[in-house]
Structure 1
């Protein structure tokens, strides 16, 4: 249990090869083994409301095993075989956990982000060929059911919709009021609609079919969708179980309690957090359907830690930033560690959190395409602030230069693209779309992550940027992380995101958007000067900085940089049109599959294409008429 150095991890590898490890080969085997060892212990807790005194629902490991089997039996009866797909479009709930587990046991589960638009949801359903969709029954203050209905009309392969009714979590007056406020549902085509809880309860608590014989594709997770239509990555049992084994071996004990306010459609919550409990027997607590986004979660977070005697907290940089704006107002002595992932953690935020919470914060690294876990700062060893730690056992990381001719392995501390090989990397078929697997691998077994980074002399991995996020100013590559780190040092900055905005001469110039801490009103000019003074590379100095109410983010807190790019294009193009005296304005900026971001121009008076081209022809991003 635990590790402090690279040598500790290598000793684990030297004990025996991964293929020789006595680990389960299926999800059912993993769950059954944990239930057998820890049957009476608490497994999963879900709390509908953030009030520390609000009721919760908890299943023991034996109960979770039985309910997952009932769910799997239902799905198998609905036509979900080992290669068939059950999708879920759900916020966090106990039913979401059961759908994930039952779906991986019966067939292939496909979690979908409820914040996506219906056409994106339908595109994923069509890509995966889902036969069954588990989603919400219409409920006040959420449009998930309506989105699902619209998506199903565009996804003809969906045969059955299983509805989850959150009314079961209501008590008192709310239980009577909600049915009166329930939104009306529209057309859903010819699909069969069934009640999830009612149908699951009819099925036996032991599997009625034979478990899978061994490794196979068990899950389809779409990528974050920060740029364009999400891609769908395939996860096999081996990668899922590898992640659970890592957490059990190095991080979690059976008597631990983790709090995970992250969405269960994301690998950090399912593969890592829930997987850690599946591997170790630790309890996992999911507070509110929306997790960190839920009403009152940040305000009550430390009290929830005290209530559930949490020992591990799971978060992302934006969540830690928000927590730093609240006092630690409860007994948090049960906490041992905090884990941060999903996006790079600014060094200044790291320092602030550890000082305020008195808690060690370990930053790690993973990605959907690798079934998640890659590296982490050692909980019991040196934590190099700003790094993402040491690669886990059986994980091989290479830093490769692909820019100049043939691929070349980088030297120590030399920046290149991070490439990963481990049991979670399914070579040659990571994506369900075959064409998207092209050029995804290096040397036959390494996944090209698209992240730029380096390995230092102690074996620690550092992310220095994202290949596709590079700001290219007149042929000069600028890492946005340099700008974001500089902004994070300012006490009024909660979050900063740097992008390249269009420029008539350099192609792109650095631009940043800032979300201020609560109550702060930083001056934009002063903040820009503050950042530029800390950016040593002159080419990376900010040409524009704007403080906005909130930086748009994915459901797990990653800045949606394409939304910021749209905002910058609209501003720059709008200014160019006005300065040229063209009677037109930017109506919107949209994303086109083949052309990328496209500005749509609307006439405000008498003008023509030639006039617009003259004003915008020096910029690289295309435009179309809005009409």
Structure 2
């Protein structure tokens, strides 16, 4: 008999068989609350979560069963309902990972709309995101858990940005909690204490529906102003099911999680997908993979909990490849990697060191989370994976008038995706019905423009070739930065590379590159520029300069941040043009664009400065320094 919910899915050839049955017939839960309720009913006594207080306390987790987790979520969801949170009201969540944050996130999606926020942001940015999401209630880390988050939350409450503060304690906290201040007009208290008297057996308000909004996530894009992408419950459940459907893991498999819950990967891959399969998840402490002590204990954690899989970004695997394996890690079937391109050297180092295959994936917040995945037993070099079941991917050519033309398999174009995980739009405002959504030009006839350049082969495997917005246009000639980056990565001293366009008043742009070197290597920027010139297929792509950095900039979710590099390249270009004048040049990123500031002494002839600046189509301003 065919298992409708869990088909056999272990290799690329299984995709066609899976899709022969319509998704609607597979019996997926309708909402994330239904996912949790099903798990608690099916496996009430099985451990669902073991949350570590920190890396050194890895043998002293706070563990809850699926039944206990449902009880906790019901209490918090009922508290939110009691405090006035309705189905289309957002609840902000500002805290590093901890046991209570997992409960609060699921409860916020049950009572209203969860709006997780990176606790590393400044209070001003947090306030902006809360206003854009429409959240008036904020779940926030208490002073023991994260002092900076607490200070931001308290400040926003005093400024009137929110009228409810629900405070989280550290995982496994004992003893009396610190006293909290009173703020006029603000409901404020520890979440666990306020929720303790709420019913745990059932919800007091109607449960959500599949089409209801479940969450609002700040996009982790590499260009432009970050937006708030809305997800429906159906988006999240179907994407989690697509990930959980892999046959290589079963209900006995243990998953390790350490990515922050303000990122969709943590929610979909390491929370909802395991809930669907009844899998036990071991969560790292508040700092996640950023906690230095975690690496020292990591392999013993894998052995102790018999971890079968994990999810992380390439930099984590690069670090773990240097950590001696001091335990039996034979339980680990494979490790998932995404968020940014996986350098071949990182894959080789990690797999050679551990024997654990890395399974690459691809996704974006606007498609909920994951849209493609690889297979450990059937690797496809150069690909980020095969499209997931019931999602569709193709490359298109986009004309200047906006017309799309489908490209044949293996032709390079802009990657577009359709299917049940494509989001309904960005939050652009609010009315009495709740958030107002707009696709902002990324959606067309149910297809999502990813902004990535790629080719899609006959088997549905996606081969990324760059970002459409990252193209370097030299005298009208398009240069794919990946060709330069690949050339530099072939040099034995280079461990990371990124190429961007540097403004040039003759050619519009010329390519330059930024690299990170392996420790102790003597290569210079001039050496590497000469090397790349000999490796790239066309002279126009030879970088004019190569700059050596300690690390390439990334976004707060670990994606390469080329806009920062373009700003640096812009600063260098204008500083060179103005080198004959006693000025200083700054280039900053503002609202997704680069702005140049030139500071001049009081007695300089500003016309000489303007003459150089007018050669560039870049916003700039002059500031005259006064004695």
Scaled by the length of structure 1, what TM-score is found? Answer: 0.90
Give the conservation status (yes or no) of the 8 Å contact 1:598–1:623: yes
The runs of 5 or more residues in structure 1 that have no matched partner are none
Q: Deviations over 1:134-158 (max 9, x none)?
A: 11122487522223344456663x2
Give the conservation status (yes or no) of the 8 Å contact 1:234–1:432: no
**2:145, 2:107 → 1: CA distance?**
27
What is residue 87 of structure 2 aligned with on the other side? 82
Give the conservation status (yes or no) of the 8 Å contact 1:52–1:300: no
Matches within 5 A, 1:374-385: 374-380=371-377, 382-385=378-381
Give the conservation status (yes or no) of the 8 Å contact 1:416–1:453: yes
Matches within 5 A, 1:154-553: 156=161, 158-166=162-170, 169=172, 190-206=185-201, 207-224=203-220, 226-250=222-246, 252-380=249-377, 382-403=378-399, 406-427=403-424, 429-432=425-428, 437-442=439-444, 444-517=445-518, 522-553=523-554
**2:79, 2:564 → 1: CA distance?**
41
What is residue 573 of structure 1 aligned with on the other side? 574
**1:30, 1:592 → 2: CA distance?**
38
Distance 1:210 1:518, change over 3 A: farther
Give the conservation status (yes or no) of the 8 Å contact 1:482–1:535: yes
**2:308, 2:19 → 1: CA distance?**
28
> After alignment, is 51-60 or 467-476 more displaced?
51-60
Q: Deviations over 1:273-324 (max 9, x none)?
A: 2121111111222212121112322333223222322110211122222223
**1:604, 1:140 → 2: CA distance?**
48
What is residue 123 of structure 1 aligned with on the other side? 128
Distance 1:55 1:396, change over 3 A: same
**Partner-residue secondary structure (3-state), 1:114:** coil
2:611 is aligned with 1:614: yes
**2:533, 2:65 → 1: CA distance?**
54
**Partner-residue secondary structure (3-state), 2:88:** coil
Distance 1:600 1:27, change over 3 A: same
| Structure 1 runs of 4+ with >6 Å offset | none
Q: Deviations over 1:204-227 (max 9, x none)?
A: 212222313443111111101543
**2:460, 2:209 → 1: CA distance?**
38
Give the conservation status (yes or no) of the 8 Å contact 1:46–1:58: yes
2:9 is aligned with 1:3: yes
Give the conservation status (yes or no) of the 8 Å contact 2:472–2:480: yes
The runs of 5 or more residues in structure 2 that have no matched partner are 1-6, 430-435
Distance 1:488 1:436, change over 3 A: farther
**Partner-residue secondary structure (3-state), 1:350:** helix
**Partner-residue secondary structure (3-state), 1:296:** helix
Alpha-carbon offset, residue 440 of structure 1 = 1.7
Alpha-carbon offset, residue 72 of structure 1 = 0.8
**2:145, 2:76 → 1: CA distance?**
26
Give the conservation status (yes or no) of the 8 Å contact 1:122–1:155: no
**1:351, 1:431 → 2: CA distance?**
41
2:18 is aligned with 1:12: yes
Q: Deviations over 1:186-213 (max 9, x none)?
A: x977433221221122322122223134
What is residue 42 of structure 1 aligned with on the other side? 47
Distance 1:490 1:358, change over 3 A: farther
Distance 1:141 1:94, change over 3 A: closer
Alpha-carbon offset, residue 564 of structure 1 = 2.1
What is residue 144 of structure 1 aligned with on the other side? 149
**2:522, 2:168 → 1: CA distance?**
43
**1:321, 1:279 → 2: CA distance?**
30
Give the conservation status (yes or no) of the 8 Å contact 1:376–1:390: yes
**1:601, 1:188 → 2: CA distance?**
45
**2:532, 2:322 → 1: CA distance?**
22
2:598 is aligned with 1:601: yes
**1:2, 1:516 → 2: CA distance?**
44
**1:515, 1:141 → 2: CA distance?**
32
**Partner-residue secondary structure (3-state), 2:319:** helix
> After alignment, is 551-560 or 447-456 more displaced?
551-560
